[in-house]
Structure 1
Amino acid sequence: MTGNSSRNDFSDSSKPGDSSDEAAAKAPKRLWKNLRFVRLFMAYALATFGDWFDTLAVQVMVAYRWGADPLIIALIPVFMAVPGILFGSVAGALADRLHKVKIMLLCDGITVALTVGILLAPSPAWLLPLLALRAMMSVFHVPAQQALTRQIVTEEQLFQASSLNGFVNQCAKIAGPLLGAVVLAFFSPQICILINAFARLLSGAFLWPLRRFSEKKEVGVADEQDDEQNQKGTATFFTQWQQGWKYLRRNRTVRNTIVFGCLGLMSILMIEYQFATLFREIKPGNESMLGWLGSSVGAGAVLIILLLNRLPRIGYGWGLGGGYFLIGAGIASLGLIGPDTSTAWVIVVGLCTGLGNGMFMVTMNYLLQKETSPDYVGRVFGIQNSLFSVVLVAAPLTGGAIIRFAGPSSTFQMIGLATLAIGLGGMILQRMLWNVGRTCTSTDKASAVS
């Protein structure tokens, strides 16, 4: 694909008729001077923060206010994962077919309405479907946001934009539930839910000026036949959906990345919900240990993302394989802790795990954006969302069964070593998997089609 594409048209004063060369000439050199990215970034930050802010409030409302059965509580993450399985690839195809900003605006508006519905839900029978529908809006929102980012930032800004999005995601996971808990201490769960609705309203307000953004197609060499059909208007939605899967089969770098991500994610999610089980057995009187671990994991992720945001490049194999290597080392180390293990050691292990998590996440998002033809970014991220959602449902159940059979410590050691081995394999086989020497560098020309 060409480097002088219409996605380099950033200036709000530019007209839809500007040529790609003229648009590139107008592109700001610094990311924060790209007003379109700033608006998109603020909208994404508010939407992501809102998604995490009322997580604890919903659990408190179900467990304490309604006294729901534990099975009902366990169904909450399942109901929230199912839309990704069913509609992830569909959402990606729509993001590539329709106007991305309008998709995001519609999702924000519907999310506000559904959040108010959650606030008024009289019982779990109403709550669970509403949570599933709200999760479905995020399924459609994310591919559109990723595809739009690919269009409105330059190649030189893409790695920094990816790391900033990862930074916001990690901060939201930490700060959202924490601030939600603070508000919950003084107010009711309903106030937290209202704040989420307000955050989505603000997200839509930041996106509103971008509603007339003119999206232009960019054709990759291997995609000329598909895109010629799209431009003639003869491609149906189902055809474009099929083209997304065909593109994934053709693009070895992107395909290997998603498969590699699924393998490592499967290992991680087997024990992600079992930290409480581990600490309950080893340190039954020290509930704060779980909080220290969670905080240190988040801090490690934020630190590495801030560092990556200042670096010009990171190798695909080192970022993806190295990330899983650090995560696996952290998980295996947790399996070795005993009743006399100090809190300081748990914090160190958490930092190691967080460093790996942040390194992998930034590298993967950047690779998928850079190595994917712009016309297929939405579909690729949608397919990734579908596959990851399947893992999200299957892995915790598998991990729980293994823990019941082998015990928490042994399971953490086995899964940690398996994740470490996956990461080590990624570093050793990086030339085969990702055609490395390619790197996450802002100065490389994109080669989206392998």
Structure 2
Amino acid sequence: MTTDAATPGLWRNGPFLRLWTGQTASSVGTQLGGLAIPVLAVSVLQATPFQVGLLGAVQTAAFLVIGLPAGAWVDRWLKRRVMLFADLARAVVLASVPILFFAGVLSIWQLIIIGAIVGVASVFFDVAYQSYLPVLVAPTRLAEGNSKLETTGQLARVAGPAISGALLAIVRPAILVGIDALTFLFSFLALTAIRDREVAQPKADRQKLVTEIREGLSFVFHEPLLRRIVLTTSTTNLFGSLALTMIPILVLRQLDISPVVYGIGISIGAVGGLLGAMFSARIARAIGEGTAIPVSGVVAAIAIIGLALMSVFPGAAVPIFVVSEFLYSFAVLVYNIAQVTFRQRICPPRLLGRMNASIRFVVWGVLPIGGLASGLLSTAIGLEPTIIIGAVGSVLACAFVVFSPLLGMGRMPQHATTSP
């Protein structure tokens, strides 16, 4: 078996460094746009709670609608080429936001359509992206690769909202969305410089699309530990989106916190995610690779309860927001690095795209449902009760991994327990 010592480090892996560079720029831009778009919707276009919920829903609806076939297609195609097309598509549609805005014709419904197109491109990019890392990186370096990518992603989450919040004091939100488009273009250029040896799946080896989709789903749900992780992630995402979709309205409108303070608060909280990415491997060694998953899942769910408490203690809303964001980001990064590394490690290479797409379908496909339900519930019963329901549900969702062999497990399995 190849050891870490025998495998060249990632600092000398040119293709990985180019992927890393492009994704760092893209992550910064995504954070700029991620704050600018809800501010644009809430503060400029005066979106209703239902429209905000719909905007959040359409950005992830593609995972529910085309997530499964996307995985089978990605397994057939060259993954880098898929990412290139996705980056270019996102750059073009996001660049239309400032154009429409300064032409005086941008509406919330146009923003929702743009969000849907970006969501479709993101489905293909994300499935290809997580399936592409094992192409560039040796199996013994997967955890290191995921950690590096997540660390810079968290650095972007730290710097992005603070920069965005500061820029929102002097420029319009639509301009920040335009900057987001430029970062996707930069990512596109970085990916074009990568040279790899990936070969597209021969047509003779392809089966019917339905058969290939079924094979990916079967692998996910026949792996006992992976099945429990997917169930927890999916249920937590459902209830989490129910709560988190309404946080911008709660903070910006109901608690009357300025976009600048909101952005800075997210950045300070995101430091927790940066630390989670940096120390995830140490935490896994200290408490066990398996144990790290249920423990971090519970901490993330408790942090959502903290966000719900902002409306109960409005005088302390800003510090509660910062602390909750810190804990949530820290725990989510520890959780994600542990479970993504586990599933990349045990999955046969030919199933990577379908495995990742199947998981995304289940765990991200619930996000538009939660976002839409958030808008409808907020309209029917109010903002605070909706957020509380989402927070409590997130805690209960952790039962799948808490009451499982994961709790107390030191070393996670290195291979699949079922035949692919």
SS at match of 1:235: coil
Aligned equivalent of 2:327: 352
Provide Cα deviations, 1:419-446, integer angstroms capped at 9, x if missing partner.
4444365234125xx994543xxxx744
1:100–1:333 distance in 2 versus 1, CA, 3 Å? closer
- Maintained 8 Å contact 1:262/1:388: yes
Q: Deviations over 1:313-341 (max 9, x none)?
A: 46343222111211233334555663665
Superposed displacement of residue 290, structure 1:
6.0
Q: Give the Cα–Cα distance (whole angstroms) in 2 for the partners of residues 193 and 150 of structure 1.
A: 32
8 Å contact kept, 2:40–2:173? yes
Question: Where does 1:39-438 land on structure 2 (aligned, <5 Å)?
Answer: 39-59=18-38, 61-62=40-41, 71-121=50-100, 122-124=105-107, 125-210=109-194, 212-215=195-198, 232-275=204-247, 284=255, 294-309=266-281, 313=285, 315-333=288-306, 338=313, 347-398=322-373, 416=391, 418-423=393-398, 426-431=401-406, 436-438=409-411
- 1:271 alignment partner AA: A
Distance 1:81 1:158 in 2: 26
Deviates more, 1:77-86 or 1:140-149: 77-86
Instruction: Tell me how many residue pairs correspond in the alignment.
Output: 410
Closer, same or farther in 2 for the Cα pair 1:54/1:269, shift >3 Å? closer
Could you tell me how far 1:251 is from its partner in structure 2?
2.8
Q: Structure 1's 231 and 60: CA in aligned 2 closer, same or farther, altered over 3 A?
A: closer
In structure 2, give the amino acid aligned to 1:369: Q
Deviations 1:192-223 (A, max 9, x none): 2332222122212211132x521269xxxxxx
Shift of 1:147: 0.7
* One-letter identity of the residue aligned with 1:265: N
**Where does the alignment leave 5 or more consecutive residues of structure 2 unmatched?**
none
Cα deviation, 1:245-273, whole Å, max 9, x if unaligned, reads: 23223333333321121122223222223
Counterpart position of 1:13: none
Cα deviation code 1:164-183 (max 9, x no counterpart): 22233333344334323433
Q: CA RMSD in A?
A: 3.8
User: What's the TM-score once normalised by structure 2's chain length?
Assistant: 0.81
Are the equivalent residues in 1 in contact too, given 2:234–2:366 (CA < 8 A)? Answer: yes
Conserved? CA contact 2:53–2:245, under 8 Å: no
How far the C-alpha of 1:345 sits from its partner, in A, is 5.9
Aligned equivalents of 1:347 and 1:81: distance in 2? 26
CA distance in 2, matches of 1:175, 1:340: 26
User: Shift of the alpha carbon at 1:304?
Assistant: 1.6
Moved more, 361-370 or 342-351: 342-351
Assess, with a 3 A threshold, how the Cα gap between structure 1 residues 159 and 83 changes in structure 2: closer, same or farther: same
1:322 and 1:423 in contact (8 A); partners too:
no
Q: What CA distance in whole angstroms lies between the structure 2 residues aligned with 1:325 and 1:118?
A: 38
CA contact (8 A) 2:346 2:414 kept: no
What is the alpha-carbon distance in structure 2 between the residues aligned to residue 216 and residue 250 of structure 1? Answer: 28
Residue 193 of structure 2 aligns to a residue in which SS?
helix
Cα deviation, residue 99, structure 1? 0.6
Contact in 1 for aligned 2:22/2:191 (Cα 8 Å): yes
Distance 1:52 1:160, change over 3 A: same
Greater relative CO, 1 or 2 (CA 8 Å, sep 6+): 2
* CA distance in structure 2 between the aligned counterparts of 1:343 and 1:133, rounded to whole angstroms: 34
CA distance in 2, matches of 1:231, 1:251: 28
In structure 2, how many angstroms separate the alpha carbons of the residues matched to 1:48 and 1:430?
Answer: 35
1:416–1:152 CA distance, 2 compared to 1 (3 A):
same
What secondary structure is seen at the aligned counterpart in 2 of 1:430? coil
For the pair 1:37 / 2:21, whether they are aligned, the reply is no
- The code of the aligned residue for 1:258 comes to V
Tell me which amino acid in the other structure corresponds to 1:213: D
Q: Which has the larger radius of gyration?
A: 1
Could you tell me which runs of 5 or more consecutive residues in structure 1 were left unpaired when the two chains were aligned.
Answer: 9-23, 218-226
- State how far apart, in whole Å, the 2-side matches of 1:312 and 1:77 are: 33
Contact 1:296 1:354 in 2 (8 A): no
- Structure 1 range deviating more: 172-181 or 297-306: 172-181
Moved more, 160-169 or 197-206: 160-169
CA contact (8 A) 1:163 1:362 kept: yes
Aligned-partner Cα distance in 2 for 1:187–1:82: 30
1:429 is paired with a residue whose SS is: coil
Q: CA deviation at 1:395?
A: 2.3
Deviation at 1:363, TM superposition (A): 1.6
